[in-house]
Structures are given as structure tokens and as C-alpha cells.
């Protein structure tokens, strides 16, 4: 069976979606000892580990320790599910084409932090989330799937974030499953998805389960 290692920093809502989808999460690693997602992982029988970035002299030392912990579980895929650390180019290269992230915007718009606030300030009519392969360029890797939601007149950051998060919990497990099933082909910055098409209430690309 294929194995996933999930990296988190916080509450673990996307981790929970992956676990509840029945995906083979072998281990969950956090850079924050008090991350709520660690308890979720243990409740689902996944191994856990903490690599506290504050205990290391710099990014290279932290990433080396993190990679050692990941490799001990021999994963086929490493998933960033709210992992709030910028990874070094060497780390990204180590897991090239088997490192996936979810970002709360329709990339390439609103890379980085505070995406919902920035979307509201920009006056966009559609916002959403993106699952993509990780490259050394922050939030710029080949896009696997996206889900879009409307920005409503009365939205604030909290209401918009909640609407996007609901779609994150749908599109992220689907994208991870496609990887594990060998349905993804990377062609430059494009990702071809061999997946069944199914109509959905939300706008998603590809529209697949």
C-alpha cells in the first residue's frame, strides 16, 4: 500500500479531511508541538512526530531534520496541509514531483499569507483554493486542481474563509487520491488529470470526484 506523510502547523482541518477520506496517512509531522492536528492524527491511528523549527539554527538544519523524519516513514507522497514554513530549494528538490500543497486562493493570484483579506480588498468576484505540486518558487508549482466560490457582498474574512475551506476539504482528498492512483502527469507547468468527470455544485477544475 502507498503511504503519505502529512506536514501540519495548526488545527489540522485538511488533515482530518484526508483521514476521513480513507487515504493512507502513515504519519503526521508538525513544526508546532501544540498543533491541534496531532490529536486528530492520533485519534485516527497515524504516527506523529514534532520537529520544532525553533530548536534549529536555520532553515537548512531544520529542513534536514524534517527530511530525516519524513524518510523514516518511506512515503510515496508528502502533503503540506497548512504547514506554515517556507521550505528550502534543497528540500523541495529531494521530494520533487511527490510534494503537494493546498493554498487558499486561486493561484497564481494571492500567493503567500492573508489571502482572504487580500481577495476582499481587491474586489474579486471569485475566490477559492488550489492544490499544486510544490516547487522552489513560493506557491507557483504546477496546478493539479482548483475550486472556486463566489465572493458575496456581505462577506468578511471569516465568512469567505469558511466557504473556501469547505471546498478545500473536497478538492484536496481528490487530488491526493489521483496522485496515489497514478492519474497525474506533469508537463511543464501543466498537470494532466486522468479522472472521471462528475457534475458538482461548486465550480471545480477538473470536475472530478
Q: Which residues are catalytic?
A: 103
Please give the span between the terminal C-alpha atoms of the chain, in angstroms, as a whole number: 21
Phi-psi map region of 170: left, alpha, beta (phi>0 left; psi -120 to 50 alpha): alpha
How far apart, in Å, are the Cα atoms of 55 and each of 32, 50, 70, 73? 11, 11, 17, 22
Angle at which helices 157-180 and 13-20 pack, to 10 degrees? 40
Phi-psi map region of 114: left, alpha, beta (phi>0 left; psi -120 to 50 alpha): left
Grid cell 510544490 — which residue? Answer: 134
Amino acid at each position: 500500500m502507498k503511504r503519505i506523510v502529512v506536514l501540519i502547523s495548526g488545527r489540522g482541518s485538511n488533515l482530518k479531511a484526508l483521514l476521513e477520506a480513507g487515504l493512507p496517512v502513515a504519519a503526521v509531522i508538525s513544526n508546532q508541538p501544540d498543533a491541534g492536528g496531532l490529536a486528530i492524527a492520533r485519534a485516527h491511528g497515524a504516527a506523529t512526530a514534532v520537529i520544532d523549527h525553533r530548536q534549529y539554527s536555520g532553515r537548512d538544519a531544520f529542513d534536514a531534520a524534517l527530511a530525516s523524519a519524513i524518510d523514516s516513514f518511506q512515503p510515496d507522497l508528502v502533503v503540506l496541509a497548512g504547514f506554515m514554513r517556507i521550505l528550502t530549494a534543497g528540500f523541495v528538490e529531494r521530494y520533487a514531483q511527490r510534494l503537494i500543497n493546498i493554498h487558499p486562493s486561486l493561484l497564481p493570484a494571492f500567493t503567500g499569507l492573508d489571502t482572504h483579506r487580500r481577495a476582499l480588498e481587491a474586489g474579486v468576484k471569485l475566490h477559492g483554493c488550489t492544490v499544486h505540486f510544490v516547487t522552489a518558487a513560493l506557491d507557483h508549482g504546477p496546478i493539479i486542481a482548483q475550486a472556486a466560490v463566489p465572493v458575496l457582498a456581505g462577506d468578511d474574512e471569516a465568512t469567505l474563509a469558511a466557504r473556501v475551506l469547505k471546498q478545500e476539504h473536497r478538492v484536496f482528498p481528490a487530488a491526493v487520491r489521483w496522485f496515489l492512483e497514478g492519474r497525474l502527469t506533469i508537463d511543464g507547468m501543466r498537470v494532466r488529470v486522468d479522472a472521471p468527470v462528475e457534475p458538482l455544485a461548486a465550480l471545480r477544475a477538473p470536475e472530478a470526484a
